[in-house]
Amino acid sequence: MEPISPKQTGMAAEGLLLGTVTDDLADLGKYGLKKVYQVLSESLNQLDAQVYAKTIEQAVITVGSKVIVFSHNQTGKAVAPMVAAGLKAGIVTGVIALPDTTKGFVVKKSVFSGKAFANVNISSDIKVISLNPNSYKVISGEGIAEVNQLNIPVEAGKVKVTGVNKVRGEVPLTEAEIVVSGGRGLKGPENWRILEELAHSLHAATACSRPVADSAWRPHHEHVGQTGIQIAPNLYIALGISGAIQHLAGVNRSKTIVVINKDPEAPFFKAADYGIVGDVFEIVPKLTEEIRKLRNS
Ligand SMILES: Cc1cc2nc3c(=O)[nH]c(=O)nc-3n(C[C@H](O)[C@H](O)[C@H](O)COP(=O)(O)OP(=O)(O)OC[C@H]3O[C@@H](n4cnc5c(N)ncnc54)[C@H](O)[C@@H]3O)c2cc1C
């Protein structure tokens, strides 16, 4: 998919940064931004959805923006609806395609756990959308963005972060090209080594079904599905996952799905591009070995 271009919407893309960052903001011009606005305040250096929302509202009013685009990640999910409410703007979340501006402002999203698509027209003056991660490829080119500081009042936060537990050394799930995911078919957390070895051989991120996270076999940040993270990698490999509709809702935008399950009737096979009927404990180590051989050859 192409990035939103001024040719299609008649608008220029501008960015808003909240809080202190060390990166060179002018560099964002490479990704199509003409201007970048920054609001500096101690209260913005940690996420407080209410403070973020109020600051974004003020910035939108000051700059006169008409379409506010969020990422449909945890922050976007928390902040975008508050901004829309504050600005009395129409909002569509989890958008997956470019807006069609030929008749109004129509955006596409998947509904009913990925069973159908809805095209929704936003008719309010200001429009808020949140884009599903990985819906677009990042395209970089030439360009330098103009950086402006916005002097707007920022409220003191009511939330205090008392500790941060950072996940280190893993490929972030929402950005991964390849994801290897495990379900209850792996029988217990002690068996995750075979999944991790496969993931390692493919430089892939690891994910899991909800019952796996609920049973504390894996951390909750790996849970994908309707109530977990929604991902769209190039390759999703499902090991011992039945393929319930709530699971598929989080992964059915993957470009290629490979399913390994010992039950030939498992519903996941209907959504799969490639399927292997068999025991994960036999197949996965062999697969990992073959991938390692290929990589080393
Ligand atoms: C409101 C709601 C929201 C939900 N949200 C989510 C969500 O976000 N994400 C999610 O994942 N689920 C979600 N669920 C739960 C969902 O309905 C399923 O119960 C869940 O996805 C099943 O997980 P599973 O496939 O790991 O386990 P199971 O359904 O138990 O399936 C295990 C699979 O492993 C296979 N298997 C067993 N042994 C082997 C072996 N040795 N080799 C190969 N295959 C084997 C079996 O054939 C089976 O297909 C939600 C449910 C509800 C009601």
Provide the pLDDT for residue 1: 36
Residue nearest to atom 53 of ligand 1 (CA): 246
Residue ranges of the chain with per-residue pLDDT less than 50: 1-4, 6
Provide the pLDDT for residue 8: 65
Q: Which residue, among 44, 109, 107, 52, has the nearest Cα to 75 in the 3D structure?
A: 52
Residue nearest to atom 7 of ligand 1 (CA): 225
* Alpha-carbon gap, residue 124 to 122, rounded angstroms: 6
* Alpha-carbon gap, residue 74 to 104, rounded angstroms: 29
Q: Which residue, among 286, 254, 257, 251, has the nearest Cα to 270 in the 3D structure?
A: 257
Provide the pLDDT for residue 225: 95
Q: Residue 7 class from Cβ within 10 Å (0-12 exposed, 13-18 middle, 19+ buried)?
A: exposed
Atom of ligand 1 nearest to the CA of 241: 25
Handedness of CA 287, 289, 292, 297 (dihedral sign): negative
Provide the pLDDT for residue 178: 96
Residue nearest to atom 41 of ligand 1 (CA): 279
pLDDT in tens, 129-145: 999 877 777 888 899 99
Ligand 1 pocket test, pick from 113, 221, 242, 287 with the greatest ligand atom count within 8 Å of Cβ, gives 242
Using DSSP bridges, classify how beta strands 14-18 and 178-182 pair: parallel, antiparallel or unpaired.
unpaired
Provide the pLDDT for residue 7: 57
Distance 243 CA to ligand 1 centre (A): 6
Q: Residue 101 class from Cβ within 10 Å (0-12 exposed, 13-18 middle, 19+ buried)?
A: middle
Query: Hey, is 25 helix, strand or coil?
Result: helix
* Alpha-carbon gap, residue 142 to 58, rounded angstroms: 30
Answering whether pTM is above 0.75, one says no
Do you know the residue count of the chain? Answer: 297
* Alpha-carbon gap, residue 224 to 208, rounded angstroms: 6
Q: Which residue, among 223, 209, 200, has the nearest Cα to 284 in the 3D structure?
A: 200
Residue 233 CB less than 6 A away from ligand 1? no
Provide the pLDDT for residue 4: 47
What token pair was written down for 31? 């990704």
Provide the pLDDT for residue 2: 41
Provide the pLDDT for residue 215: 98
Helix (H) or strand (E) segment spanning residue 39: strand 35-39
pLDDT in tens, 187-229: 999 999 999 999 999 999 999 999 999 999 999 999 999 999 8
Residue 215 CB less than 6 A away from ligand 1? no
